[in-house]
Amino acid sequence: MALLQISEPGMSAAPHQHKLAVGIDLGTTNSLVATVRNGISVVLSDIQGRAMLPSVVRYTADGQVLVGDRAQVSQSDDPVNTIVSVKRFMGRGMTDIGDTSRLPYRFVETTSADGFGMVQLRTVAGVKSPVEVSAEILKLLRSRAEDALAGELLGAVITVPAYFDDAQRQATKDAAKLAGLNVLRLLNEPTAAAIAYGLDNASEGVYAVYDLGGGTFDISILRLSRGVFEVLATNGDSALGGDDFDQRIHCWLLEKNQLSALNPKDTRLLLTLARAAKEQLTEHGEARITAVLSTGELIDNVLSQDEFHALSKNLIQRTLQPLRRALRDAKLDVKDIKGVVMVGGATRMPQVQHAVGEFFGQPPLTNLDPDKVVALGAAIQANLLAGNRTGDDWLLLDVIPLSLGLETMGGLAEKIIPRNSTIPTARAQEFTTYKDGQTAMSLHVVQGERELISDCRSLAKFELRGIPAMVAGAARIRVTFQVDADGLLNVAAREMASGIETAIVVKPSYGLTDADITRMLQESTQHAQDDMQARSEREQMTEANQLLDSVAGALAQDGELLNLAQRADIEAKILMLEAALQTANQLSIKRAMTLLNDVTVSFAQARMDKSVTRALAGKNISDLEHK
């Protein structure tokens, strides 16, 4: 029977009406999925008990898509088709990514109608967009969640970095759509971490979120007022993370053993050992590193915590610089910060916690698992949005991270919605024509804080046509900007005298067109065959288990109807089916089921006879005929 979870008072779901919602941390290095169960936010693990799914996707020549650990193992053997850190390419064009020479991928530059395009990757399975790659990660998390919750998901809250612009947010939403997930809300990662710590239950305050992940460092300053988190400032270093600490240990090993450049295999070996040593040093005073290189050379070193601190000192210093900048941007002082939240596995290192504590003059919050805290917060928000909490609870609002505006004459940006406006929101402003007899107006929607259009990000361009000819400055054109709860924008322009109107849903320039999405959805139906196969395998396993249960039950109840040989035969076939289940081979399970069914036919017959005899005993024919 179904397994039930405890609900909030008065919120028990009707049968089959469970509102299952999850929070997803779609990370650069690792991704996680969490949900609220029995009132507590928990991360869902896979069957091996691993919570973190490496954000790695590999496409193979035979059309397979491998995700997570299964893809990660091939990272060095098949770098071109093994996509890591795809988040860095989401909603990004070639010019945004900059130097691609160090990346192993074959980039394809695409151009959409308005002259922009998200970068794509050429793999052995064809050209893939970062949206499709991310969708593979989301699909796996979705199926993990559906297995764990035994039901279909109502929706998900997906987290994004606070500095993600509209194009990157739209790309994230598109990926979710492609993975068949209903996005309840996109939520800023630092906001999610703050929610996980329950900081939103306090009334007011300014908090810092220090997020040192595998390969990126982000610092966010949040202000909470009346249940709304405002992002006051973000800063960071997109090329600094836990991996750099491994690298430092790796270099130390090379130096200690006077080694020069190693082959890729040895480098990988030493980096793995360096990471293990780093993790060990979190708990222990020293870590021993031993290895035999492919040259036969023996490595045996002991790294003490003090030495490691000295090695990593300037890496930690590098995180403090963005911290100071963020505080300066927010026009705040260290003493204004009410609490500091630690996010990312690298913040487990005691020297990081120590440095952050010293900087802020208070110990940071570390009691939640820093790898999971973002997903946990997203799950709490998802549970709320799905309607699993009572109405008097808070409904958290988010803010737009960057101002939205229009280009005006002279290449200047006119801000319509200032940054940090709480969403959803709508604002309108009037514009006019600047030439006599002007009948059309071009609207260029931009995002950013800078004054010059060239420094802002272009989101969309559209035209309002059919303006009645008037002298310059006489026409009144009202432009309305509307931002929905996900931070996505609708722009409408209306000429007030004639009432002509035109509107655009800002598909940010780097987002996908509907046609693209349709195509991808069609492609995903091509995988329907595999999905069906997987389903039939699962159904067969269940059926086999049911058969085993019922035979075991029958043996216990009516075992005496069998002679020794018959019983031995049935037991042998049971063992066979159990063994076949272990192999999970569909054909052999089927064969074993048939065999077990065959040997139990006469047993079933005998049981039937017995129960009929029992039912008829002591009754005469006429009794039975009357019934």
Known catalytic residues are: 25, 87, 189, 211
Q: Which is nearer to other proteins, 45 or 267 (CB)?
A: 45
Task: Report if residue 6 touches other proteins, rule: CB under 8 A.
Answer: yes
Which listed residue (61, 124, 127, 150) binds other proteins by CB under 8 A? 150
Output the smallest distance, CB 531 to other proteins, in A: 18
**Segment interacting with other proteins, rule: CB under 8 A, options 3-11, 263-271, 427-435, 507-515:** 3-11
Where does residue 180 rank: exposed (0-12), middle (13-18), buried (19+ CB within 10 A)? Answer: middle
**Segment interacting with other proteins, rule: CB under 8 A, options 7-15, 110-118, 338-346, 577-585:** 7-15
**Segment interacting with other proteins, rule: CB under 8 A, options 98-106, 142-150, 188-196, 443-451:** 142-150
Task: Report if residue 144 touches other proteins, rule: CB under 8 A.
Answer: yes
Report CA 425 to chain centroid distance, whole Å.
26
Which listed residue (24, 66, 148, 544) binds other proteins by CB under 8 A? 148
Gap between the Cα atoms of 231 and 422, Å rounded: 10
Q: 3-state class of 439 per DSSP?
A: coil
3-state secondary structure string, 330-354? CCCCHHHEEEEEEECHHHHCHHHHH
Gap between the Cα atoms of 193 and 341, Å rounded: 7
Q: Which is nearer to other proteins, 1 or 515 (CB)?
A: 1
Binding to other proteins in span 10-49, by CB under 8 A: 10-12, 14-16, 37-40, 44-47
What token pair was written down for 63? 């059309």
Contacts of 626 (CB under 8 A, 6+ apart): none
Q: Within 13 Å, how many C-alpha atoms sit on residue 583's CB side?
A: 13
Q: Which is nearer to other proteins, 135 or 148 (CB)?
A: 148
Output the smallest distance, CB 216 to other proteins, in A: 30
Output the smallest distance, CB 41 to other proteins, in A: 9
Output the smallest distance, CB 45 to other proteins, in A: 8
Buried b (16+ CB within 10 A) or exposed e, 195-228: bbbebbeeeeebbbbbbbbbbbbbbbbbbbeeeb
Q: Which is nearer to other proteins, 15 or 618 (CB)?
A: 15
Q: Which is nearer to other proteins, 44 or 330 (CB)?
A: 44
Size of interface with other proteins, in residues (CB under 8 A): 28
Buried b (16+ CB within 10 A) or exposed e, 584-600: eeeebbeebbebbeebb
Task: Report if residue 540 touches other proteins, rule: CB under 8 A.
Answer: no
Task: Report if residue 596 touches other proteins, rule: CB under 8 A.
Answer: no
Output the smallest distance, CB 543 to other proteins, in A: 14
Task: Report if residue 2 touches other proteins, rule: CB under 8 A.
Answer: yes
Output the smallest distance, CB 144 to other proteins, in A: 7
Which listed residue (52, 71, 141, 149) binds other proteins by CB under 8 A? 149
Q: 3-state class of 246 per DSSP?
A: helix
Gap between the Cα atoms of 69 and 448, Å rounded: 38
Which listed residue (77, 147, 430, 609) binds other proteins by CB under 8 A? 147
Neighbours of 272 (CB within 10 A): 13
Q: Which is nearer to other proteins, 48 or 525 (CB)?
A: 48
Task: Report if residue 3 touches other proteins, rule: CB under 8 A.
Answer: yes
Task: Report if residue 391 touches other proteins, rule: CB under 8 A.
Answer: no
**Where do we find the tokens 């987002």?**
511
Distances from the Cα of 195 to the Cα of 282, 380, 426, angstroms: 26, 8, 26
The 8-class DSSP code of residue 152 comes to -
The 8-class DSSP code of residue 134 comes to H
Task: Report if residue 1 touches other proteins, rule: CB under 8 A.
Answer: yes
Instruction: Provide the residue type at 495 as one letter.
Output: E
Radius of gyration of the chain (CA): 31
**Segment interacting with other proteins, rule: CB under 8 A, options 143-151, 168-176, 211-219, 607-615:** 143-151
Output the smallest distance, CB 382 to other proteins, in A: 17
Task: Report if residue 553 touches other proteins, rule: CB under 8 A.
Answer: no
Q: Which is nearer to other proteins, 49 or 499 (CB)?
A: 49
Q: Which is nearer to other proteins, 148 or 287 (CB)?
A: 148
The 8-class DSSP code of residue 452 comes to B
Q: 3-state class of 64 per DSSP?
A: coil
* Interacting residues with other proteins (CB under 8 A): 1-12, 14-16, 37-40, 44-47, 144, 147-150
